[in-house]
Copies of this chain bind each other. A is one copy, B any other.
Amino acid sequence: MLKEYDCWFQRRKVIPGFIVPQIVCAQKGAEVALQALKEYVKGINRLLEFTPVQKKEDFNLSAVFLGIYDKLEKAASFSCTRPAKEGFAIKVEENKIFIAGNDENGLLYGVFRFLLLLALGKLHTGFQLSESPVSPLRIINHWDNFDGTVERGYAGNSLFYKDGRFDFDDQRIEDYARLLSSTGINRISINNVNVRDKAKLLITQEYLRDAARLAAIFRRFGIKIFISINFGAPWSLGKLPTADPLDASVAKWWAQRAKLIYKFIPDLAGFLVKADSEGEPGPFQYNRTHCDGANMLAEAVKPFGGEILWRCFVYNCQQDWRDKSFDRARAAYDHFKPLDGKFSSNVILQIKFGPYDFQVREPVAPLFGALLKTRHIMELQITQEYTGHQIDLCYLPWIWQDIMSFDTAHGEKSRIMEMIKPYCEGFSNIEGFAAVVNTGLDKNWTGHTLAQANLYGYGRMAWNPCLTAKEIANEWSVLSFGKNQTSEKIEKILLDSYPAYEKYNAPFGVCFMVTPNSHYGPNIEGYEFSRWGTYHRADANAIGIDRTEKGTGYTQQYSDGNAKMFCDHASCPENLILFFHRLPYDYKMKNGQSLIQNIYDTHFEGCDEAAAMLEDWKSLKDHLENEVYESVLSRFERQNTNARDWRDQINTYFHRKTGIKDVRGRKIYD
């Protein structure tokens, strides 16, 4: 039976079809290598129910050898494809097993992978695998506040903070670090990008002492921490008259502050910064550019090897809906493309995957492929802000798979998954990913137990963007529930969940028909006249924004090929057609039906599919721990109410607006 807390590390006896030697020989190493050995012993106990005997390295023994690849290769008769940075090789011989990391992180990842493959039943004599992460940066962002709340958190309060201070359980943080590290995460930002109230004190001595304790736990698992800082700190915290990045006293303040911070956390990854965004302070206040701001901070952390993650979520959030010339989707490109090449070498731009804000369906942002001389990563969201608050099930690797497959059409090998690489000047390489996490103090970490799959999936896909949503769903289901009919059904439920959610949500990429602020449930005109700049402008005849060259010109931010593809009704993907075009309700879609009929159809279908997931779940009642069954059941029931609200409000809204009936005569409320 499932123990939710353990996630993909269930205690479940495995009968391997090969010999796992009782002896383990681990090379001496630093703390991550030590942790790798501990994890190996722990994992074998869990899966094979014996405690490995630790012996000094001796290649005459029948043993499992843990170590650094170069050393093992030299000493043993072992060889495999050499792993790259943070990579590992696993080789299962007749009576020897090698788990070799390119480095200590690689070794730890190798041990975790060995254990997961063992649990999945995928190992056998003769098995060998050499694998290295595709992305150098595999980051988790916490939007945790010091009062213990979590912005956009749906899994209980913060793992790190309470009542204005650090307040964490060391054991729980270790368990958390294990979960993250086992999927390949190597960076974590520990506080909300909106740095308010007590969080401003994080970079003071008293709080840094606790931050260092937290960092020490993550460090053992190969994870470095980022701190989110408030750009106005020299003014608000340091009492300087300004936070102007070109003011010498400000630069000096940050340099001294960095020195203090690095005294406590010598391997700090750096700072994460949300500046000039949604009310946060930034260089614009002083008529400076984002380069001025980021580079000044970069200079401060440079002596310590630190880096600046600078978010590109910068847009005018004081819009007037009357102004049709404005298009919020243009903002990131308009702000940052002109700055390409002007950032310091230790500044990394963090760009949301789409031009809006983590919508259920958005195009990939045009900055990807367009930046050639600036380090950058892609920002994703694991926490289900717009995707159902971990009440509704929404399996996110589907979204990420679509993103990875997107072809930016800038030159060759221009699909996102092909662009994930270490930075190289002159190329549009994306160095990796950051994602806002979905975890909290809930016993099962993620509120909805099945939302663990999104946490797992993010790590896996950040490591290897070529993995498919289906592969990951299969891995996660088997690891969590064992290889059986239950896990097969759950895999199916996961895979069904995103298409259903998309169908009952805002139609065809039009976005933001959601309850303001909370972002759960339908509110079709909720943002229609507000300051946030996300309008659909539905009238009696048509809906959507013309973003082509005849409209706001947003499409022209893409490569020529993509601009053409999106501009043309025929080639624009239909699931995004209302993002790019304003269309009359009688527009004929590829299935021969009108747009309005497609809106009706998808909403009836999405709601039916949510109902089917509920039934699928009910069929598992006898095969699941009661607590798990009930907690997920209650969520599916709430999801069904939500899906019905979406279906009826969307259908009624368009029916009222157009007077057009459903051709199949289903119930639309008037």
Q: Which residues of B contact A645 (CB under 8 A)?
A: 529
Q: Which of B322, B523, B649 contacts A669 (CB 8 A)?
A: B322
| Chain B CB within 8 A of A95 CB | no
* Min CB gap A125→B, angstroms: 62
Give the A interface residue count (CB, 8 A): 23
Q: Are A538 and B322 in contact (CB under 8 A)?
A: no
Q: Are A539 and B670 in contact (CB under 8 A)?
A: yes
When each residue 501-528 of chain A gets 1 if its CB lies under 8 Å from chain B and 0 otherwise, what string results? 0000000000000000000001111000
| Chain B CB within 8 A of A541 CB | yes
Write the chain B residue with the least CB distance to A660.
B540
Within 8 A of B (CB), among A529-552: 529, 537-541
Which of A30-38, A370-378, A651-659 is the interface stretch?
A: A651-659
Q: Give CA–CA (A169, B523) in the complex, Å.
A: 45
Q: Which of B322, B540, B652, B659 contacts A656 (CB 8 A)?
A: B540
Write the chain B residue with the least CB distance to A644.
B322
Q: Are B322 and A540 in contact (CB under 8 A)?
A: no
Q: Which of B321, B522, B659 contacts A540 (CB 8 A)?
A: B659
Q: Are A658 and B529 in contact (CB under 8 A)?
A: no
| Chain B CB within 8 A of A86 CB | no
Q: Which residues of B contact A307 (CB under 8 A)?
A: none
Q: Give CA–CA (A529, B647) in the complex, Å.
A: 12
Q: Are A322 and B529 in contact (CB under 8 A)?
A: no
Q: Give CA–CA (A655, B322) in the complex, Å.
A: 14
| Chain B CB within 8 A of A648 CB | yes
Q: Which residues of B contact A539 (CB under 8 A)?
A: 655-657, 659, 670
Q: Are B648 and A322 in contact (CB under 8 A)?
A: yes
* Min CB gap A202→B, angstroms: 28
Q: Which residues of B contact A529 (CB under 8 A)?
A: 522-523, 645, 649, 652
When each residue 634-651 of chain A gets 1 if its CB lies under 8 Å from chain B and 0 otherwise, what string results? 000000000001001100
Write the chain B residue with the least CB distance to A541.
B659
Interface of A is mostly: loop
Q: Are A657 and B657 in contact (CB under 8 A)?
A: yes
Q: Give CA–CA (A321, B656) in the complex, Å.
A: 14
Q: Which of A539, A541, A659 has the most B CB atoms < 10 Å from its CB?
A: A539
Q: Which residues of B contact A524 (CB under 8 A)?
A: 525
Q: Give CA–CA (A539, B661) in the complex, Å.
A: 13
Within 8 A of B (CB), among A285-330: 321-322
Q: Give CA–CA (A524, B528) in the complex, Å.
A: 10
Q: Are A525 and B522 in contact (CB under 8 A)?
A: no
Q: Which residues of B contact A659 (CB under 8 A)?
A: 539-541
* Min CB gap A506→B, angstroms: 15
* Min CB gap A391→B, angstroms: 17
Q: Give CA–CA (A62, B658) in the complex, Å.
A: 82
Q: Give CA–CA (A537, B655) in the complex, Å.
A: 11
Q: Give CA–CA (A258, B658) in the complex, Å.
A: 61
Q: Are B537 and A540 in contact (CB under 8 A)?
A: no
* Min CB gap A368→B, angstroms: 33
* Min CB gap A644→B, angstroms: 9
* Min CB gap A667→B, angstroms: 9
* Min CB gap A649→B, angstroms: 5
Q: Give CA–CA (A238, B636) in the complex, Å.
A: 39
Q: Which residues of B contact A649 (CB under 8 A)?
A: 529
Q: Give CA–CA (A403, B388) in the complex, Å.
A: 46
Given contacts A524-B525, A525-B525, 7 further A-B contacts (CB under 8 A): A523-B525, A539-B655, A539-B656, A539-B670, A540-B656, A541-B659, A656-B657
A-B pairs, top 10 by smallest CB distance, nearest first, are A539-B656, A322-B669, A525-B525, A529-B649, A540-B659, A540-B540, A540-B657, A657-B657, A322-B648, A540-B656
A contacts, CB < 8 Å to B: 321-322, 522-525, 529, 537-541, 645, 648-649, 652, 655-659, 669-670
Q: Can you list 8 A-B contacts (CB < 8 A)?
A: A322-B648, A523-B525, A523-B529, A525-B525, A529-B652, A540-B540, A540-B658, A540-B659
